[in-house]
Amino acid sequence: MSERGPRDTSGHVPMSGGAEFDAIRTMLARWGALAQGVGDDAAVLTPPPGEQLVFSTDASVEGIHFRTAWLSPEEIGARATTAALSDLAAMGARALAVLVALEVPASWQSHLLELADGIGGVVEQANARIIGGNMTRGERLSMTLTVIGATDRPVYRRGARVGDALWVTGRLGGPKHALDAWIAGTTPAPEARARFAAPVARLREGAWLAAVGARAMIDLSDGLWADAGHLAAASNVQCELWLEALPTIGAGTPLDALSSGEEYELLVATDPDLDADGFARRFGVPLTRIGVVRAAAEQAGPKVVLRESEHAPSLLRVDLPGGHDHFSA
């Protein structure tokens, strides 16, 4: 976000003194009109007429989801907010409100305004508002964002049908390339770094896909291979992916596209005749058909299988990680 001074924070409940409330007031002044009615014990939200509310919570923890050597404080705040809002996109919901819970170590006190800019920039782009949260001292930076959205037609993971086409938004593999470079001690290519540091929650795209009849949808936080497995398990089907169809970024390979996590693109199961060209013209990102939904194999059978191409006669054998596990070392 651009550099900004204090704005009108009317509508907030007056708060008493102390370091915690001073920090909250500092962030509220930075957010200005993006934050509304903060300071009570809880926020009150009225569902829009004819719509259902959609909720999700996502945590971003220093040393697990990001390292300060890789990203600026503003990027860290923006990325955490995008990750949370991406869950609304996967349900076909538009964003209404965000609650921000921060655990802030002493070393981060001087970066609160930059962090607020990152959070606020994404909230502003999503046309949402910050309506509350919590702040406490901690040993390392931890951000937990609760997002609230609304839709008249939520899309679940469990709706895929045999014969549905599988589609993916955007191009994949950038976050993996960036992480591989940082871990190797080198500098990522600008395109790969941008995909890791500044992902986009596909809120408008998800709402459009829901409106045109998406039957099942999931965002790619764990990676295409793993998240296709989550969708298949929820829908009791098998996802067949076509290696040559996978859209890649830069010099990435289709296997990179399969295994790269934290993409925040959308995997969608719906009719084969979806208007992919119209989607690309409308949103400026590709929508690519990458597979098909098959009947589930036996209960213990694979949830995801891979072919070289749509018409390849046999399946490929691949050895890919099962996706990000927050409890793994």
Per-residue pLDDT of 204-224, as tens digits, reads 999 999 999 999 999 999 999
Please tell me the total count of domains within the chain.
Answer: 2
Report percent pLDDT > 70 for the chain.
92
Q: What DSSP string runs through 100-157?
A: EEEEE-GGGGGGHHHHHHHHHHHHHHTT-EEEEEEEEE-SS-EEEEEEEEEESS---G
323 is a domain residue:
no
- Of 134, 151, 168, which one is at a domain's C-terminal end? 151
Q: How far apart are CA 293 and CA 316, in angstroms?
A: 17
pLDDT of residue 102 exceeding 80, the answer is: yes
Contact 81, 118 (CB under 8 A): yes
Residues 226 and 281 in one domain: yes
14 is a domain residue:
no
Q: What is the pLDDT of residue 329?
A: 40
CATH code (residue 108) = 3.30.1330.10
74 is a domain residue:
yes
Q: How confident is the model at residue 327 (pLDDT cuts 50, 70, 90)?
A: very low
Residues 33 and 83 in one domain: yes
Q: What is the pLDDT of residue 9?
A: 41
Residues 265 and 291 in one domain: yes
174 is a domain residue:
yes
pLDDT of residue 5 exceeding 50, the answer is: no
17 is a domain residue:
no
- Of 131, 151, 171, which one is at a domain's C-terminal end? 151
138: containing domain: 22-38+51-151
CATH code (residue 216) = 3.90.650.10
Per-residue pLDDT of 257-278, as tens digits, reads 999 989 999 999 999 999 999 9
Per-residue pLDDT of 33-90, as tens digits, reads 888 888 788 888 999 999 999 999 999 999 888 899 999 999 999 999 999 999 999 9
Mean of pLDDT values over 136-153: 95
- Of 124, 151, 178, which one is at a domain's C-terminal end? 151
1 is a domain residue:
no
Q: How far apart are CA 222 and CA 13, in angstroms?
A: 39
What is the chain's mean pLDDT, rounded? 90
